[in-house]
Amino acid sequence: MVRLDRVDLILDGREVLSGISMALMPGRFLGLIGPNGAGKTSCLKVILGVHRPTRGTVRVLGQSPWELGKRAHHIGYVPQRSLAGRWAPFSVFDVVMMGRVCCIGVGRRPKARDRQLVEESLERMGLSDQAQRPVGALSGGQVQRVMIARAMCRKTSLLILDEPTEGVDLPHQERLYRLLKDLQAERGLTVITVSHDVSMLSGYADELACINRTLHVHGDPREVMESHDLGRAYSCEFDFFSHHPHGGGHHHHGHTHIKGG
Amino acid sequence: MFAYEFMWRALAAGLLVSLLCSVLSLFVLLRRMAFAGMGISHAALGGVAIGLLTGMNPLVGALGVCVATALGIGAVTRSGRVSPDVAIGILTSGLMALGVVLMGLSSGYQGDLYSYLFGNILAVDSGQFLWLVAVAVPVLGFIAVFLKELLFVAFDEEVAQVTGVPARLLNYGLLVSIACTVVAAINMVGVVLASALLVAPAAIGFQIADNWRPILLVSVLSGWVAVAAGLACSFLWDVASGGAIVLVLVLQFFAAVLLRRLRRPAHI
């Protein structure tokens, strides 16, 4: 589904990513973690084709991301802080319909089928009753579900989210991750989520990859959490409380003593 | 007052220019491009001066300079090396200064200068009206064809681009449309006041409504009301038509702000 091979990225003369190699199989849920400024968002943008790697190769759905053409419709993207500080004159329905723009075609208006898909997507996200409200009037958690509805209202097979839980309260964070997990199971969706909230994400992701300019560790969440490489990536020692979606928790070693990162 | 043919022509030209400006003003506000709009309109003076001195149609000169300025603003904004505000401020005030210097080289253009600075819609002739139509049709056509894509890019440029919408091309298309519209508005309100027509109509709409559709409708209607009322004031009290039109727009904006305050807190 996604393959990065020795990817370097230099932005404004600064090396943001160095020698990143990883592969993600279809239907998997990857949590991309790392400290602030570690290059997580840049890594997503390389996968999305927004940034071209300085060296190395990227393959998404078997092709370079900037050569996907109409296959780009299969990628859903939820950016960081989608509505932060902004007011926009669009209803929730308008915003989700934007997800259909690439499918409708230039110069054409949405048809009944497009409206039906938008309504279905809103219903799946539990937002049917909010459809006509201004998107700026919603809470942080609701806005993120609108953005996921927008990303999912077409034949999306890869969903990429950048810090989807930022500015969202704890119960809604859990609801959001559960929703992603359900979508993954229902539609065989591949999910890549960036977060710096490692403990919450580790309870839902199938695999974790920790980036701090280079890829420090990638694998099963429990193994990653127990890896010394994780502490090195964050330049600190950890006390993780791994959240489990079906109750309970799992303590990992170390201390909550942060030296840096 | 409509016994005079020039009044009918002025009204038709005013309504057409106002329609163009009102539609574009929605995108100018959504993209927070008000300063770019002002910059492009001020840069037009350099083009007018080049046209007058070289003997070509000053509006053709203005169109060339405005389009070049719009493309320059687009390139600078994308490069991210210089702040767009700084680039627009320097580029456009430089072009306006060029216009003033070139106009000053010959004293014969002072009358022309006033009409290009502040406009005179009552003097619009058939040739200028046709010029207006030639600008309005492609600009309105561009917006009609790419409406949903332009709205998507205005709301979330990065996501639009990732899902295959040609955001960069649409941005340049919008900037060139603004440049063409500024040139179309010069006859009506002049270089100095053209930017008001690119901001005020949608600003009124944003005070009245919460969704882009009614905002667009209010924007167009307030523009038309300003043209009709401004022309009437100009005819009845012999005041400058461009200034009267913009003043009516500004009065509508304050009325809309007041109305919104009475109903709920303002957004913009």
Give the range among A11-25, A107-121, A247-261, B238-252 with minimum mean pLDDT: A247-261
- Spatial CA neighbour of A200 closest among A235, A168, A159: A168
Q: How far is B204 from chain A (nearest CA, A)?
A: 13
Q: Report d(CA A141, CA B241) in Å as an integer.
A: 51
Cβ–Cβ gap B145/A101 under 8 Å? no
- Determine the Cα–Cα distance for residues A119 and A132; give it in Å rounded to an integer: 11
Give me the pLDDT at residue A52, please: 92
Least confident stretch, A182-191, A231-240, B20-29, B167-176: A231-240
Q: Tell me the average pLDDT across A229-237.
A: 67
Q: What are the residues whose beta carbons fall under 8 Å from the beta carbon of B148, sequence distance 6 or more?
A: A97, A98, A101, A104, A109, A110
pLDDT tens-digit readout, A66-118: 887 777 788 999 998 766 556 789 999 999 999 999 899 888 999 999 999 99
Mean pLDDT (chain A) is: 84
Q: Are B203 and B253 in contact (CB under 8 A)?
A: yes
In whole angstroms, what is the distance from residue B140 CA to residue B138 CA?
6
Question: CB distance A106–B145 less than 8 Å?
Answer: yes
Q: Which residue, among A52, A98, A130, would best test binding to B if mutated, counting the most B CBs under 10 Å from its CB? A: A98
Q: Give B145 to chain A, closest Cα distance, Å.
A: 4
| Domains of chain A listed by start with CATH number | 2-251 (3.40.50.300)
Contact A56/A37 with Cβ under 8 angstroms?
Answer: no
Q: Do A101 and B212 touch (CB under 8 A)?
A: no
Query: Residue B199 in contact with residue B22, Cβ under 8 Å?
Result: no
DSSP A247: S
Distance from CA of B15 to the nearest CA of A (A): 25
DSSP string, B78-131: HH-SS-HHHHHHHHHHHHHHHHHHHHHT-GGGHHHHHHHHH--GGG--HHHHHH
Q: Is B24 left (phi over 0), alpha (psi -120 to 50) or beta?
A: alpha
pLDDT score, position A95: 95
Beta bridge partners of A212: A214
The confidence score (pLDDT) of residue A47 equals 94
Contact yes or no for B163 and A69 at CB 8 A: no
pLDDT number for residue B106: 66
| Strand-pair category, A29-33 with A190-194 | parallel
Helices B110-118, B167-197: inter-axial angle, 10-degree rounding: 110
- B109 in contact with A, Cβ within 8 Å: no
The SS3 call for residue B40 is: helix
Residues 6+ apart with CB under 8 A from B267: A87, A136, B206
Distance from CA of B259 to the nearest CA of A (A): 18
Residue B122 near residue B5, CB atoms below 8 Å: no
Q: What b-and-e string marks burial along A167-187, b requiring 16 or more CB atoms within 10 Å of the CB? A: bbeeebbbbbbebbbebbeee
CB contact under 8 A, B212 and A99: no
3-state secondary structure of A116: helix
pLDDT at B75: 85
Compute the distance between CA of residue B42 and CA of residue B193 in angstroms, rounded to an integer.
9
Q: With bands split at pLDDT 50, 70 and 90, how would you rate the model's confidence at A243? A: low
Contact A95 B206 (CB under 8 A): no
- Chain B nearest C-alpha distance from A78 (Å): 8
Say what the pLDDT of residue A235 is.
Answer: 66
Tell me, what's the pLDDT at A250? Answer: 47
Provide the shortest C-alpha distance from residue A70 to chain B (in Å). 7
- CB-defined contacts A:B, below 8 A: 73
A107 vs B145, B161, B163: nearest CB: B145
Nearest by CB to A73, from B163, B206, B267: name it: B163
pLDDT score for B110: 63
Q: Residue B96 has what pLDDT?
A: 84
Nearest CA in chain A to B211: A89
Mutating which of A50, A102, A147 best tests the B interface, going by the most B Cβ atoms within 10 A?
A102
Looking at residue A252, its pLDDT comes to 45
Cβ contact, residue pair B163, A82, below 8 Å: no
Q: What is the DSSP string of A69-100?
A: GGGGGGEEEE-TTTTTT---S-BHHHHHHHTT
| Residue spans of beta strands (DSSP E) within A25-157 | 29-33, 55-60, 75-78
Tell if the CB–CB gap between B155 and A73 is shorter than 8 Å: no
What share of chain A has pLDDT > 70, as a percent? 87
How many Cα atoms are found within 13 Å in the side-chain-facing hemisphere of B19? 16
Amino acid (one-letter) located at A128: S
Q: Give the other-Cβ count within 10 Å of B264's Cβ.
A: 8
Nearest by CB: A90 against B155, B162, B165:
B155
Interface with B, mutate which of A68, A90, A106 (most B CBs under 10 A): A90
Out of A75, A95, A106, the one facing B162 most closely (by C-beta) is A75
Q: Do B148 and A101 touch (CB under 8 A)?
A: yes
User: Is B266 in CB contact (< 8 Å) with chain A?
Assistant: no
Alpha-carbon A121 to chain mean position:
18
Q: Please, what are the averages of pLDDT over each run of 10 residues along chain B (268 residues)?
A: 81 94 94 87 88 85 91 81 81 85 72 77 86 92 96 92 91 93 85 88 95 97 96 90 92 95 67
Contact B210 A94 (CB under 8 A): no
Beta bridge partners of A241: A251
Q: Does the domain made of B5-263 have the CATH classification 3.40.366.30?
A: no
Q: Do A104 and B148 touch (CB under 8 A)?
A: yes
Residue B226 to residue A126: CA distance in whole angstroms: 44
B158 contacts A98? CB cut-off 8 A: no
Rounded to a whole number of angstroms, the distance from the CA of A77 to the nearest CA of chain B is 6
pLDDT value of residue A258: 34
Contact call for B209 and A73, based on CB within 8 A:
no
Flag whether residue B268 sits within 8 Å of chain A, measured between CB atoms: yes
Q: Is the CB of residue B242 less than 8 Å from the CB of residue B121? A: yes
d(CA A127, CA A135): 11
The distance in angstroms from the start CA to the end CA of chain A is 31
Residue A189 has pLDDT above 90, yes or no: yes
Complex-level ipTM: 0.86
Q: Which of B151, B163, B209 lies closest to A102 in CB terms?
A: B163
The rounded distance, in Å, linking the Cα atoms of B143 and B125 is 27
Q: What does the angle CA A22 – CA A28 – CA A31 come to, to the nearest 5 degrees?
A: 65
CA distance B258 to B77: 35
